Structure 1
Amino acid sequence: MDTIVKTVKQHSFELDEETLKEVRFIGNQFKNVKNYVYSRYSGINGIPLLSNPRQIRDEWTKSKFAQQWKLPARYWKLALSEAMTNIKSEWSNIKRRIKEQCKVNDNLTKKDRHYINYILKSNELYHRILTHKYYDVPSKFKDVDLNFKYLNNLIRRYTRKYKGKIPYSYKLTTFSVDTGLYSYIDDGINITCTKKGKRLPIRLTDSNKYDRTLIIKVTENKIEIHIPLKIKTKYHKDYNNIIGIDKGYKYLFAVSSGRVYGENLNDYLSKETERLNEINTKRNRFYALYNQHIEQGNVKKANSILQNNLGKVKYNYNKLKHNEAVKSYINQSLNKLIDTEKPKEIVMEQLDFVNWNGRYPKSVRRKISRWIKGYIRERLEYKCDYNNIKYIYINPAYTSKVCNKCSSFGIRKGDVFTCPKCGEIHADLNASINILDRKDDKEISLYTNYKKVKKILENRAI
C-alpha cells in the first residue's frame, strides 16, 4: 500500500449570527434528507435500487419532491448520494456476516454455501427470496440436490438477525460540500447558501486550499472543515517482528513479547466513571424534582430546574474533553507499541466483536463500555496501514482460558491465569502468546465453531 487516507482539519474564526444561522439550517436540512432516505430505502424493498440509486434522484427532480428541503440541488443530491452509499455499505456488511456465519455452520455442505454465496451476489435474487417472490433457480443449481426451502429460510433468518435498526443521523450541524459548492478566497472560504446566487464568506485560521469534497462541522459559533487527504505510507527496514496482542485487563494491550502498553487507560476510565456516577446521581434527583413540579402544575419551578440544574452544555463539554483525552492517550500508546516492538506483522482478535463478559468483572466492563472498542481497532488498523505493517485476525475462542505452554484449561481471575499444571502466569500475556500461536494453527481457522475449538484444545491437553 503506497498511500492512505488521513483527515486534516481547518478552523474558522467566530461566525456572526446570520452566518451561523445559515450553516446550521443547511446542516439540519442535510440531516433531514439523509434520514428520509434511510427511513424510506434502507429496508428490504430498497435492495433493487442499490444498483441504480440515480433513479431516486431523477424521480425527486421530476416530481419536484426535493423542493421541500429548501436547499440548492447540489446539497440534497449530495445528501442522497451519501445516504445511499451508507445503505449499500450496510447491506454489504449484512451479506459479509451471513457468509461468515455460514462458514461456521457445520450443518451446511460446500454446495449449500456455494448456493447461498451465489444468491447474495445477486441483489435481484436476494430481494426475491427475502420477499418470498417466485424466482428461477440458477441453472448451475437445477441438477444439484439442495433443500432450497431450508436454505432460503436460512438466508431470511440470518438477514433478520444482522439487519439491525434503520440508520439515523443525529448530526444536526454536519454536512458535505463538493467542489461546486465552495471556493477558497484569500482569507477563507465561500460556501453556497440557500439564497440563489450567493455564498457565505467564512474566514479561516490558515490559508491552505483543497479541491475535494469537504465535511463542514459546526462547533458552537465556529466551523471545522474536515479534509480527507491521501498521504504516502512509511517503510521500515528494521521492522521484522511478528507479535500477538491482547486487550489488557488494566491497560490497552499486552504483547507476546512480555510488554504491556497503555498502563494508565484504566485510571482514565475509572476517574470518568466515578465522576459521571456522582454527577448523574445528583441529576437524577433534579429530574425527580422536575417531574414532581410538572405533575403539580408548577411549570415555572420546573422550567427553572430544567434551565439551571439540568443543562447539557457543561455536561457534554466535559464528556467530550474526557473522550478527547482518552483518544490522545490511546494513540500515544499505540505509537509507543509500534516504535518499541517494530513489528512487520500483528496478530490479534477482532476487538469490536470479542465478548468480554466472561473475561472481566462487571466494574471493569462498565469502564470499557464507556469507550468504543471499534475506535481502538480503527486506530490500530490505520497505524498498521500507515507503517506498512501486516495485521491478521484469528479465532478468539478460548485464547484467554488455556495455558500457552501445555494447552490445559485454567482459571482466570483478574490479570492472573492459573494453570493446573504450570501454575500462575500473567493472564493477558498468556492470551497474547495464544493469539500469536493461533496464527499458524492449521486446525483452528478464523471461522471454526467455538464448540469445535474447545474439543480440539481438550484433545491437545490430554
Structure 2
Amino acid sequence: MKVTRIAYSAQLNPGKYAAVMEQARRLGRVRSEVWQRYGSINGVGAGLRDRQVRDRWLADGTHALFGVLANAWKETVRDAMADIAASLAAAKVDVRRAISRRTSDPAERQRMFTALKADQWASDPFLARQMRKHWRRGRNRTHDQIVVRADKYNTALDGRGRLWLAIPGLEPRKMVRIPLSTAVAPTGTLRLILRGGRVEIHYQVDASQMRSSQRPCGDATVGVDKGYTEALTDSDGQPHGVQLGELLTRESDRLKERNRRRAKLRSIANNAALRGDHAKAHRIKVNNLGTVKRDRQAARHRARVRTEIFTAVHQVVDKANAVIAEDLTQRFTGRKNLPKNINRRLAAWTKGVTAEALRNVSERRGSALVHVNAAYTSQTCHRCARFGRRRGDRFHCTSCGVVWQADVNAAINILHRAGDPDIALHTPHHRVKQILQDRTDRHRTRLPVQDSSPATAGRRANYPNCSAINNS
C-alpha cells in the first residue's frame, strides 16, 4: 500500500522560484497540447498510449516547440495521458448507469458492458451518444506542476543539516537546488506543485515501512460512530479526537468574520470602479483580496483536522482487531435545509477524511474494517431496540426511561448491526425502519420471532439478533 507525503521548500530564492515557475509554465503547454490532440475518441478513446505519443512527437519535431528537456516533457506526456484515461474511466461509470436504466435484458446489458470495457463503443449508437454526453473534451489548466522521474534528481545534506533537492532545469546539466523544510529525503517519482512562492514536493512511500504501521492492533471488536465534537466514539464509551469539534467551530467562526470583511472590501472596490477610480479598486484587490494567505490558512486547517482524525483512528485500532463502522463514502440527502453557519461547522469534507483514515489505518495495521447499515442507529435504544428521541448529545429512550450519551448509544447499535441477519449493508432505510418496528411490536406482544425462510432461520441461528439477546 502506498501513501502520499508532502515536503515543502524553505526560504526559496525568488530567482530559483521564477526559474522553476517558467519550466512549469512550459510544461503546462505540453499538457495543453496532449489534451487538445488526444483527449477525445481518436486519442485515448482509441487505445492510444503515451509511448506512441512520444514516438510521434519525436518523429515530427513537435517536442522542439516547448523548450524543455526530453525527460521533462516525456514525463508530462505520460502524466497527461493518465489524466485523460482517468476522465474516460469516470465517464464510463455514468454510461454504465445509463445502460442499466435503458434495458433490463441481461444479455443486452452484458453486450454493452463488454463493448464499453473494450473501448468498442464508437460503433454502437447508444454507447457513442452516451460517451459524447459524459466524456467531454477537457482542457488543461495546470501550469504549475513538474513531474520528475526518480533517477533525474538527487538530495544532499549541507553542513547545517539542511536537506537540498536538486532537479533538472531548462538547460542540460544545470540543476536547480531547492532547500527543504524536512530532513527526510523524498523517494520515487516526484510531483512539484508551485503555490504562492513555495514548492510542494509530493511523493509516495510504502505504508508498511512507516513507523505507525509497525504498531500492532488490539484484540477486541469495537463499533464506532462519527461525531462532531469528537472524531469517533467507540462502543466502550470512549471518545477519540476530542479536539475536532473545537477545531471546526473555531475555523468556521473565523471564516464567517473573514468573509464578511472581504465582502465589504469587495463592495468598496466595486463602487470605486464604478466611480472611475480604478487605481483604488486595483489597490484593494491586490493588497486586501488576495488568495495566497487564505489558501495557506486553509491548508494548515486541513492538516490539523487530518492529524486529529488519523490520531483518533489509531487510538481505536490500538484496542480493536475488527472495527465496525458505517459506510461514510455513501451520500445521503438531508431532509432539513440547515443555515449556512451550521453547514460550515458540520464540514462535510471531514466525513471523507474519516472514511480514508479508517480504511488506510485498518489496512496498514492489520485490523478488519466492517461496514454496516447505520440507518436509525442513532434513533433507537441499544438496550430495548425501541425508537426514542435524540436532542444534541443526549438520547432519551421513551420505553426504558433512560438517557444515554447519543454517540455511545449509536456506536453500540452499530456494533450490534454487524450480527444482524435481516439488515444488510444496502437494505433501504424505509425497510430497516419497518424491520425495527416489527421487532418492537413482537417484543411488546411477546410473540416469537417469525422466520421468513429456512435460510433466514439459519442465519439467525448463526447470528442472533442482538436486541433480542439484550432483552432476554
Q: Any residues of structure 2 matched to 1:94-113 within 5 Å, and which?
A: none
Displacement after TM superposition at 1:251 (Å): 2.0
Corresponding residue number in structure 1 for 2:190 = 214
Q: Distance in 1 between matches of 2:135 and 2:414?
A: 30
Equivalent residue in structure 1 for 2:206, among 230, 241, 250: 230
Deviation per CA, 1:390-411, whole angstroms, max 9, x where unpaired? 1132334443344434444444
Go from structure 1 to structure 2 and tell me whether the alpha carbon gap of 1:15 and 1:434 turns closer, same or farther (over 3 Å shift). Answer: same
Task: Report the AA paired with residue 122 of structure 1.
Answer: A
Displacement after TM superposition at 1:243 (Å): 1.7
Q: Distance in 2 between matches of 1:298 and 1:403?
A: 65
Q: Distance in 2 between matches of 1:293 and 1:382?
A: 52
Q: Distance in 2 between matches of 1:35 and 1:455?
A: 55
Q: Any residues of structure 2 matched to 1:279-318 within 5 Å, and which?
A: 279-318=258-297
Corresponding residue number in structure 2 for 1:327 = 306
Corresponding residue number in structure 1 for 2:161 = none
Task: Report the AA paired with residue 382 of structure 2.
Answer: N
**Larger gyration radius, structure 1 or structure 2:** 2
Deviation per CA, 1:145-170, whole angstroms, max 9, x where unpaired? xxxxxxxx9xx59x97xx59887777
Deviation per CA, 1:321-372, whole angstroms, max 9, x where unpaired? 3333323322333333333xx1111122232434373599544432122744
Corresponding residue number in structure 2 for 1:28 = 25
Task: Report the AA paired with residue 421 of structure 1.
Answer: S
Deviation per CA, 1:94-114, whole angstroms, max 9, x where unpaired? 6568879999x9x95876775
Does structure 1 conserve the Cα–Cα contact (< 8 Å) formed by 2:248 and 2:347?
Answer: no
Q: Distance in 1 between matches of 2:372 and 2:112?
A: 24
Displacement after TM superposition at 1:66 (Å): 4.5
Does structure 1 conserve the Cα–Cα contact (< 8 Å) formed by 2:309 and 2:353?
Answer: no
Go from structure 1 to structure 2 and tell me whether the alpha carbon gap of 1:428 and 1:176 turns closer, same or farther (over 3 Å shift). Answer: same
Q: Distance in 2 between matches of 1:44 and 1:274?
A: 48
> Which 10-residue stretch deviates more, 276-285 or 423-432?
423-432
* SS class of match (2:373): coil
Query: Is residue 395 from structure 1 mapped to residue 373 from structure 2 by the alignment?
Result: yes
Go from structure 1 to structure 2 and tell me whether the alpha carbon gap of 1:206 and 1:346 turns closer, same or farther (over 3 Å shift). Answer: closer
Which blocks of at least 5 consecutive residues in structure 2 are unaligned?
Answer: 159-163, 442-472
* SS class of match (1:232): helix
Displacement after TM superposition at 1:177 (Å): 0.4
> Which 10-residue stretch deviates more, 311-320 or 228-237?
228-237
Go from structure 1 to structure 2 and tell me whether the alpha carbon gap of 1:85 and 1:396 turns closer, same or farther (over 3 Å shift). Answer: farther
Corresponding residue number in structure 2 for 1:182 = 153
Deviation per CA, 1:239-274, whole angstroms, max 9, x where unpaired? 211222221142211222222222231221111111
Q: Distance in 2 between matches of 1:132 and 1:277?
A: 46
Corresponding residue number in structure 1 for 2:11 = 14
Does structure 2 conserve the Cα–Cα contact (< 8 Å) formed by 1:23 and 1:173?
Answer: no
* SS class of match (1:258): coil
* SS class of match (1:287): helix
Root-mean-square deviation (CA, aligned residues, Å) is 3.9
Q: Taking structure 1 as the reference length, what is the TM-score of the superposition?
A: 0.77
Task: Report the AA paired with residue 392 of structure 1.
Answer: V
Which blocks of at least 5 consecutive residues in structure 1 are unaligned?
Answer: 134-152
Displacement after TM superposition at 1:196 (Å): 3.6
Task: Report the AA paired with residue 330 of structure 1.
Answer: I
Task: Report the AA paired with residue 19 of structure 2.
Answer: E
Q: Distance in 2 between matches of 1:312 and 1:202?
A: 24
Go from structure 1 to structure 2 and tell me whether the alpha carbon gap of 1:246 and 1:47 turns closer, same or farther (over 3 Å shift). Answer: farther
Does structure 1 conserve the Cα–Cα contact (< 8 Å) formed by 2:321 and 2:367?
Answer: yes
Q: Distance in 1 between matches of 2:301 and 2:355?
A: 19
Task: Report the AA paired with residue 191 of structure 1.
Answer: I
Q: Distance in 1 between matches of 2:293 and 2:437?
A: 54
Q: Distance in 2 between matches of 1:264 and 1:207?
A: 29
Go from structure 1 to structure 2 and tell me whether the alpha carbon gap of 1:377 and 1:238 turns closer, same or farther (over 3 Å shift). Answer: closer
Task: Report the AA paired with residue 174 of structure 2.
Answer: K
Identical-residue share of aligned pairs (%): 26
Corresponding residue number in structure 2 for 1:366 = 344
Q: Distance in 2 between matches of 1:308 and 1:80?
A: 37
Q: Distance in 2 between matches of 1:397 and 1:39?
A: 46
Q: Distance in 2 between matches of 1:374 and 1:178?
A: 31
Q: Any residues of structure 2 matched to 1:56-455 within 5 Å, and which?
A: 56-92=53-89, 118-125=114-121, 128-129=123-124, 132=127, 156=130, 172-184=143-155, 187=158, 188-204=164-180, 212-218=188-194, 220-232=196-208, 234=213, 239-339=218-318, 342-355=319-332, 357-358=334-335, 362=339, 363-369=341-347, 371-423=349-401, 424-455=403-434
Does structure 2 conserve the Cα–Cα contact (< 8 Å) formed by 1:249 and 1:415?
Answer: no
Go from structure 1 to structure 2 and tell me whether the alpha carbon gap of 1:396 and 1:206 turns closer, same or farther (over 3 Å shift). Answer: closer
* SS class of match (1:351): coil
Go from structure 1 to structure 2 and tell me whether the alpha carbon gap of 1:55 and 1:281 turns closer, same or farther (over 3 Å shift). Answer: same
* SS class of match (1:429): helix
* SS class of match (2:150): coil
